[in-house]
Amino acid sequence: MDDPIHTRRIALPCLGLRVAAAALLLLSPAAVTPAASHNDHGEHKNFLVIVRTPYEYDKNLYKNVSSWHASLLSSVCDSAKETLAADPSAITRLIYSYRNVVNGFAARMTPEEVDKMSKMDWFDRALPEQTYHLLTTRTPQMLGLMGGRRPGDGLWNTSNMGEGVIIGILDDGIYAGHPSFDGAGMKPPPPKWKGRCDFNKTVCNNKLIGARSYFESAKWKWKGLRDPVLPISEGQHGTHTSSTAAGAFVPNASVFGNGLGTASGMAPRAHIAFYQVCYQEKGCDRDDILAAVDDAIEDGVDILSLSLGHEDAIDFSDDPVALGGYTAILNGVFICAAAGNTGPSPSTLVNEAPWLLTVGASTTDRRFLATVKLGSEDELDGESLNDPNTTMGEPCPLVRDLADGTCANENVLKAQNITGKIIVCEAGSAVSTAKAKMVKGIGAAGMILVTPEVFGPVLLPRPHALPTVQVSYAAGQKIKAYIQTTKGAAKATFVFKGTTLNTPQSPMVAPFSSRGPNRRSRGILKPDLLGPGVNIIAGVPSIEDVELAPKAEVPRFDIKSGTSMAAPHLTGIAALIKHAHPTWSPAAIKSALMTTAEPTDNQRKPISDVDGRPASFLATGAGHVNPQKAMDPGLVYNMTATGYVPYLCGLNYTDQKVNTIIYPEAPVSCANLSRLEQDDLNYPSITAILDQPPFTATANRSVTNVGAASSTYTVEVDVPASVKVEVNPTKLTFKELDEVLNYSVTIKSANDQAPTGPVEGQLKWVSGRYVVRSPILVTTGAGKDAPATRQP
Ligand SMILES: *[C@@H]1O[C@H](CO)[C@@H](O)[C@H](O)[C@H]1NC(C)=O
Ligand SMILES: *[C@@H]1O[C@H](CO)[C@@H](O)[C@H](O)[C@H]1NC(C)=O
Ligand SMILES: *[C@@H]1O[C@H](CO)[C@@H](O)[C@H](O)[C@H]1NC(C)=O
Ligand SMILES: *[C@@H]1O[C@H](CO)[C@@H](O)[C@H](O)[C@H]1NC(C)=O
Ligand SMILES: *[C@@H]1O[C@H](CO)[C@@H](O)[C@H](O)[C@H]1NC(C)=O
Ligand SMILES: *[C@@H]1O[C@H](CO)[C@@H](O)[C@H](O)[C@H]1NC(C)=O
Ligand SMILES: *[C@@H]1O[C@H](CO)[C@@H](O)[C@H](O)[C@H]1NC(C)=O
Ligand SMILES: *[C@@H]1O[C@H](CO)[C@@H](O)[C@H](O)[C@H]1NC(C)=O
Ligand SMILES: *[C@@H]1O[C@H](CO)[C@@H](O)[C@H](O)[C@H]1NC(C)=O
Ligand SMILES: *[C@@H]1O[C@H](CO)[C@@H](O)[C@H](O)[C@H]1NC(C)=O
Ligand SMILES: *[C@@H]1O[C@H](CO)[C@@H](O)[C@H](O)[C@H]1NC(C)=O
């Protein structure tokens, strides 16, 4: 009798189907009962319920998946316990019924109901709610998209700017009226597009082809959430990421005259399908994220971009990015995710599953140069987003904040009388734009913002209410020393120099970009690679935290930094590759991006970290994306979705967990499969774990020829003397396209002991025309992998 498969009677007070509820919301937002009035006294909570895999929806018994899930839920919903009896129709216990991403549903239940449910034989797990977070125009030229010396060199030429490719973006909202989303000149979406536009009809066009909101789960947790059916104003982050991936050309874009130029996304002719899953100052609910991916896959997106993640590295079988991501690649949908913004400490990475492209952030070569000229004639370079035409005139008295240095205490500053002076403030917890307003309000002539030490030379300027120069920690120390020695006679002025390009040592790893090792699968190097993520100019609904002159035009571009900004760069570039190579699998596109990434900067030195030393592979992955080369990589490390199954078994996931991840693939039993060690996964980077005798690891790889039909590659290996590497064979001779050849790499310690410290090298397959590079990382054990924290 406990078997719900045969429990046909549906206990209505418990139910209300998401489909019906959603339709209601869309038609008439005013009719929505706010969460707080649902007579929900707090004992019901949101759960993601995973159903055991042998249990599948039976078409003969249930009309559809939601009616099946509803029946499972009703089998434990005890209506007697309902405090909702008075208003049964108002309660929606079934929040989401998933079709693609997991075998399960999201529902509101009491602890007693969960307990009762856990005794059902169809029950696998119930996960309590989880909150994820968003991780925050010259890049096309810098990345070589616009073409090189000869016409036709540009990647945009071969890829036709991503025409016809559909990019699905999960984020916090999109400002549909932005010029970056103008549909002029765009072709209609391909016929496979099944998505919808839940904005009012006038808003979507051939650029922004879809817009949907997911808040059925979030609304319970964030009471009073404004009805987000038209996610227009809540789009600071999502407008920026969407326009970075696929924004149209917008001439004369700048941030107060800085970075002036024609703005565009990486794939200006790709279509955007927007899925709102995050809410400003709140976050993104796991079950809403899952629902959006569930729909996006059916809508027909080609690529998914997720600039969000949990604070922790979540088990793949509990994580919506990993769960949704597997179903995405199973459907040939490429998925790109941000690596996290909690660097530079080690083991801070998120979104680690090998089927995702995990993107770290790097600096660009653009600076918004401004100089602090001290009375001593010393000049210290910094950056500023003040209008470069601003002039300061005569030097002003220069003072420090006499409180804690962060200019947080207005009364102290007032007592100090900073009228007509330049004030030095350390970056503190308060938003710098708020500080600027405050110090301007009490008469300051200018502000110098000192960046935290951990940022090294990397500065993140913002537009401010008064002339402001942001300087590095090192420059800040010099300024403070000068103030000290002049004993009250210190003076300074600012010189705004505007935008400069070709900054040496670019790209550099962003200080905040999260670092490996991979906490969930240490045999897979993450991040996969770096993309531009520092001071990125892209579209916004309006500039945040900045007061504009009464009649000023609302600026439509702003600067943001984060791995959130790096991921959509890769999303757009993946769209270009997808256009040029429509039959390539997600793994092949990822391989193309990784094996052609640049390990060196614009001075041909290894990409450096903010301390000036070469960055670890745990920060850079394969290196910095080179879109032009990624279009034509020569060889790719291909994978099918099912190829990850023996790997999951090798990670010692239980059958239930493996089956949760691979759903809707047929269930497997690991006992029936050969387990794959992590180093044998056909991944474009190589990680050898040498933590026990005999300190030897062998990694097998298969490469597919996508370059010249008849071609010969020879191997080149470059590793430190502490390890020895043997590759077998050392030559690969291809006779035709799509031919697959295998090789194995044996990596052993040179002295039969665990190598000390991280060992990094590379393996390259080289033909006349191609270089196919894989980074090699040798680690010596859990925990011991991490290099010394690189806090300068
Ligand atoms: C699923 O079936 C239920 C009734 O069993 C119905 O109310 C609901 O609209 C159906 N949903 C879909 C998506 O067809
Ligand atoms: C693109 O390449 C084709 C041929 O390779 C060339 O004729 C055309 O001018 C190029 N277009 C641009 C915009 O460079
Ligand atoms: C549709 O949305 C746009 C953008 O917010 C707005 O300007 C317009 O008035 C709306 N139209 C209708 C019919 O609601
Ligand atoms: C861009 O700005 C310049 C100078 O302000 C102006 O001459 C030009 O017409 C503008 N271009 C467009 C397309 O608005
Ligand atoms: C700055 O000054 C130059 C030359 O006077 C002018 O062309 C430009 O439009 C000004 N820029 C801004 C943002 O006002
Ligand atoms: C503050 O300093 C300014 C400029 O030196 C001076 O004009 C003003 O009188 C001072 N205010 C107070 C309250 O001392
Ligand atoms: C990679 O594997 C997939 C799945 O087997 C296949 O469809 C594709 O043609 C292969 N090659 C490339 C370059 O994607
Ligand atoms: C899986 O379990 C086996 C046997 O206990 C062990 O040897 C292996 O190291 C485990 N693998 C991982 C990735 O933890
Ligand atoms: C595993 O193999 C056993 C014995 O061959 C078979 O009975 C079982 O159905 C298999 N399980 C799966 C999930 O394939
Ligand atoms: C790796 O390749 C070697 C031969 O190249 C083979 O003997 C071995 O079984 C392979 N290992 C796996 C896990 O495929
Ligand atoms: C290459 O390795 C795969 C397994 O990784 C195997 O199925 C295939 O037969 C191998 N191909 C050759 C030519 O050895």
DSSP 665-685: SPP--GGGS----GGGS--SS
Cα angle, residue 665 at apex, residues 671 and 336 outer, rounded to 5°: 110
Q: For the structural domain made of 156-361+507-630, what CATH number should be given?
A: 3.40.50.200
What's the predicted TM-score (pTM) here? 0.89
Please tell me the distance between residue 493's alpha carbon and the centre of ligand 7 in angstroms.
60
Helix pair angle (586-595, 320-330), 10° resolution: 110
Query: Where in 685-792 does DSSP place strands (E)?
Result: 686-689, 696-705, 711-718, 723-728, 731-734, 740-749, 759-766, 771-779
Please tell me the distance between residue 418's alpha carbon and the centre of ligand 6 in angstroms.
8
Q: Which ligand is nearest to the CA of 444?
A: 6
Cα angle, residue 784 at apex, residues 783 and 786 outer, rounded to 5°: 80
**Which position has the token pair 């010394």?**
788
CA 387 – CA 543 distance, rounded (Å): 14
What number of other Cβ atoms are within 10 A of residue 59's Cβ? 10
Q: What are phi and psi of 480, to 5 degrees?
A: -70, -35
Rg, C-alpha atoms of the chain: 27
The third-level CATH classification (topology) of the domain covering 367-500 is Glucose Oxidase; domain 1 (3.50.30)
Are 772 and 732 in contact by the 8 Å Cβ rule? The answer is no
- Residues 730-782 have pLDDT tens digits of 999 999 999 999 999 999 999 888 888 779 999 999 999 999 999 999 998 65
**Atom 2 in ligand 4: residue holding the nearest Cα:** 252
Query: 136: pLDDT confidence band, cut at 50, 70 and 90?
Result: low
What is the pLDDT of the chain when averaged over all its residues?
86
- Residues 235-256 have pLDDT tens digits of 889 999 999 999 999 988 888 8
What number of other Cβ atoms are within 10 A of residue 735's Cβ? 9
Give the three-state DSSP class for 74.
helix
**Which position has the token pair 């909101």?**
213
Is the shortest distance between the CB of 177 and ligand 3 below 6 Å?
A: yes
Q: What share of the chain is helix, strand, coil (3-state, %, to 5)?
A: 25, 25, 50
> Among residues 97, 305, 561, 564, which one is catalytic?
564
The question of whether 38 is a catalytic residue gets the answer no
Helix pair angle (286-299, 320-330), 10° resolution: 10
Ligand 6 site: residues with CB under 6 angstroms?
417, 419-420
**Atom 5 in ligand 8: residue holding the nearest Cα:** 652
- Residues sharing a CB contact under 8 Å with residue 721, sequence separation 6 or more, in sequence order: 750
Could you tell me the two tokens for 722? 């502490």
The question of whether 237 is a catalytic residue gets the answer yes
Could you tell me the two tokens for 151? 């016409």
Q: What are phi and psi of 123, to 5 degrees?
A: -80, 135
- Residues 265-295 have pLDDT tens digits of 999 999 999 999 998 778 899 999 999 999 9
Could you tell me the two tokens for 415? 């007592």
Rounded alpha-carbon distances, angstroms, from residue 371 to 375, 393, 465, 490, 495 = 13, 13, 18, 16, 5
Under CATH, which architecture does the 682-790 domain have?
A: Sandwich (2.60)
Q: Hey, which residues does 559 pair with through a beta bridge?
A: 537
Ligand 1 site: residues with CB under 6 angstroms?
17, 19-20, 63-64, 66-67
The question of whether 378 is a catalytic residue gets the answer no
- Alpha-helical (H) ranges within 581-620 are 586-595, 617-620
What does the pLDDT read at residue 553?
82
**Atom 4 in ligand 10: residue holding the nearest Cα:** 744
pLDDT at residue 41 greater than cutoff 70: no
Could you tell me the two tokens for 168? 């699905």
Query: Where in 150-249 does DSSP place strands (E)?
Result: 166-171, 208-213
What does the pLDDT read at residue 432?
82
> Among residues 75, 124, 171, 213, which one is catalytic?
171
Q: Which atom of ligand 8 is nearest to the CA of 677?
A: 13
